[in-house]
Amino acid sequence: MEEKETYQAAFEELEAIVNEIEGGEIGVDELSEKVKRAAKLIKICKNKLTSTEENVNKILKELQE
């Protein structure tokens, strides 16, 4: 599932969760699940950013050769 999620989709869902939490729209019972999902979304975003950075650095290194 994480492999197929786009950065944009993960980021937008994460924003929605943060807004719900900040707005007090989430009940206590839901909070734990939302926090777990947010942690997964953060991991997806971090992995995609790291991968993109590595790819860009590789391309830049190849251009310098």
Residue 16 sits at the vertex; the CA angle it makes with 36 and 38, to the nearest 5 degrees, is 15
Q: Which pLDDT score is estimated for 1?
A: 42
Task: State mean pLDDT over 48-59.
Answer: 96
Average pLDDT of the segment spanning 31-59: 96
Residue 2 confidence (pLDDT): 45
- Distance, CA of 17 to CA of 56 (rounded, Å): 30
> Tens digit of pLDDT for each residue in 1-42?
445 789 999 999 999 999 999 998 788 889 999 999 999 999
| Whole-number pLDDT of residue 26 | 83
Q: Are 18 and 38 in contact (CB under 8 A)?
A: yes
Note if the pTM is more than 0.85: no
